[in-house]
């Protein structure tokens, strides 16, 4: 599976913990995600693969989990770019594209959870006009519009 090779990098887990998932685990995860919503229907899922334009190689993902709150639709964003492709603005560009699309669909608030030492992800959050809230969830700072 292409994703197994692309994401088989311990460095990608420096800030999130864990380790690269084996091919079978990734296959099961992607089968659940491609459905587009949680089993109970309370959350929607968007999962975009990032590919290089020149050779179509998989270089990352950007994801959104959508749910309704009392004041409207909220999207929790996440992104990852393979180590060899980092520092090229790919996460920023992909997250910005997804955030723009989500706003066009009526999403009123964007949220991301970023490790407090992950400068690159903080830069992506700032590019989305997110701001740290001071709330910490599983060691990551919640950023929000």
Give pLDDT, residue 91: 97
Q: Which of 139, 117, 121 is nearest to 130 (CA)?
A: 121
Give pLDDT, residue 11: 87
**pLDDT tier at 34, thresholds 50, 70, 90:** confident
86-130 pLDDT, tens digit per residue, is: 999 999 999 999 999 999 999 999 999 999 999 999 999 999 999
Give pLDDT, residue 4: 80
Whole-prediction pTM = 0.91
Domain, as residue range, for 11 = 2-144
Which residues, in sequence order, are CB contacts of 17 under 8 Å at separation 6+? none
Give pLDDT, residue 55: 94
Give pLDDT, residue 21: 86
Q: Which of 27, 112, 18 is nearest to 63 (CA)?
A: 112
pLDDT at 5 over 90: no
- Domains identified in the chain, total number: 1
More confident residue, 20 or 78: 78
Average confidence score pLDDT of the chain: 93
CATH number at residue 117: 3.40.630.30
């Amino acid at each position: 599976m292409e994703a197994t090779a692309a994401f088989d990098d311990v460095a990608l887990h420096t800030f999130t913990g864990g380790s690269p998932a084996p091919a079978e685990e990734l296959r099961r995860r992607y089968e659940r995600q491609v459905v587009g919503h949680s089993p109970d229907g309370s959350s929607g899922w968007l999962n975009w693969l990032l590919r290089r334009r020149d050779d179509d190689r998989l270089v990352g993902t950007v994801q959104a989990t959508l749910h309704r709150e009392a004041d409207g639709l909220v999207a929790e964003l996440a992104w990852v770019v393979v180590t060899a492709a980092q520092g090229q603005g790919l996460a920023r560009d992909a997250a910005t594209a997804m955030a723009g699309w989500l706003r066009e669909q009526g999403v009123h608030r964007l949220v991301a959870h970023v490790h407090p030492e992950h400068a690159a992800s903080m830069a992506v959050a700032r590019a989305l006009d997110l701001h740290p809230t001071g709330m910490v969830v599983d060691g990551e700072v919640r950023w929000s519009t």
